[in-house]
């Protein structure tokens, strides 16, 4: 992990240009600092069928929590309603034809059927957006799939719609624990990621030392990104399987070499 030997908190970093830090930016920086810098400069991976499917599935999950179960015969019309109200831009960007949309509905149906059997006792909020200033021009921004509350406190849950939880799940859950602590003043009782395709589950009980380590990484990342933007320089490029979806791939020799080895 770059710069991990230094210790820094968010309130110790110098003030600078406003910077919104999300879990996506954080895990991207851990994979490849230059790709994270590119995101801040407006260079994003193109939307894909998979990202659209995931976004639509999450809309159904939130609707289920807010309004109750969706009948099977109503699911396609609900998908169309949610797409028109919330995801039309993504649908247009992906360029799906009507026949392809129906195929996605069938896949989302399978995800929703698995979601319906999950225990939801104690769920308090769904699709919880946050945008909280933490000082020095830094805002922690993101969206949490669900917050559960019981006698032990809050449990942050992230529902995954991909093939597996992914290599970045620990970093993502750590970021959510930090963001929650900064927002409410105490740690969540637990953070959890659940794959709706495989049933795989990752549960973490965040401690003060763990969250301090994440804060240190976030603070150092902010410093490095601001330094690069101020000086107009590039950061380290780190190649790996993630290069396959990187918008910088066409101009990145490290990424091209990594993809060639994976083929």
* 135 inside domain: no
pLDDT at 177 over 70: yes
Q: What is the residue-wise DSSP string for 97-142?
A: -HHHHHHHHHHHHHHHHHHHTS--TTEEEEEEEEEEEEETTEEEEE
Tokens matching residue 85: 């109200």
How many separate domains does the chain show? 1
Is the pTM higher than 0.95? no
- Terminal CA-to-CA distance of the chain, rounded, Å? 26
* 107 inside domain: yes
pLDDT at 142 over 90: yes
Average pLDDT, the chain: 92
* 144 inside domain: no
Least confident residue range of 13-17, 97-101, 167-171? 97-101
* 75 inside domain: yes
d(CA 184, CA 38): 31
How far lies 70's CA from each of 117, 145, 172, 199, 237, in Å? 13, 18, 29, 21, 45
Q: What is the pLDDT of residue 246?
A: 85
* 10 inside domain: no
* 81 inside domain: yes
pLDDT tens, residue by residue, 8-31 = 899 999 999 999 999 999 999 999
* SS3 label, residue 9: coil
pLDDT tens, residue by residue, 204-247 = 999 999 999 999 999 999 999 999 999 999 999 998 888 877 88
pLDDT tens, residue by residue, 106-137 = 999 999 999 999 999 999 999 999 999 999 99
* 92 inside domain: yes
* 97 inside domain: yes
């Amino acid at each position: 992990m770059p710069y991990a030997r230094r210790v820094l908190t968010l309130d110790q970093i110098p003030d600078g240009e406003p910077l919104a830090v999300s879990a996506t930016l954080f895990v991207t920086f851990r994979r490849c600092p230059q790709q994270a810098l590119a995101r801040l400069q407006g260079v994003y991976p193109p939307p894909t069928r998979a990202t659209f499917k995931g976004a639509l599935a999450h809309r159904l999950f939130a609707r289920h929590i807010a309004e109750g179960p969706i009948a099977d015969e109503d699911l396609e019309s609900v998908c169309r309603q949610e797409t028109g109200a919330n995801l039309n831009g993504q649908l247009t960007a992906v360029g799906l034809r009507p026949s392809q949309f129906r195929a996605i509905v069938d896949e989302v149906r399978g995800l929703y059927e698995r979601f319906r059997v999950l225990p939801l006792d104690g769920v308090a909020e769904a699709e919880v957006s946050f945008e909280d200033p933490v000082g020095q021009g830094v805002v922690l921004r993101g969206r949490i799939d669900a917050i559960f509350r019981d006698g032990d406190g809050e449990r942050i849950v992230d529902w995954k719609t991909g093939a597996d939880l992914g290599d970045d799940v620990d970093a993502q859950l750590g970021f959510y624990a930090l963001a929650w602590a900064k927002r409410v003043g105490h740690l969540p009782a637990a953070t959890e990621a659940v794959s709706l395709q495989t049933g795989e589950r990752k549960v973490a009980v965040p401690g003060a030392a763990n969250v301090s380590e994440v804060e240190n990484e976030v603070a150092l990342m902010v410093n490095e990104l601001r330094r690069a933007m101020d000086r107009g320089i590039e950061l380290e490029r780190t190649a790996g399987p993630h290069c396959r979806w990187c918008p910088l791939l066409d101009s990145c020799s490290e990424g091209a070499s990594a993809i060639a080895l994976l083929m």
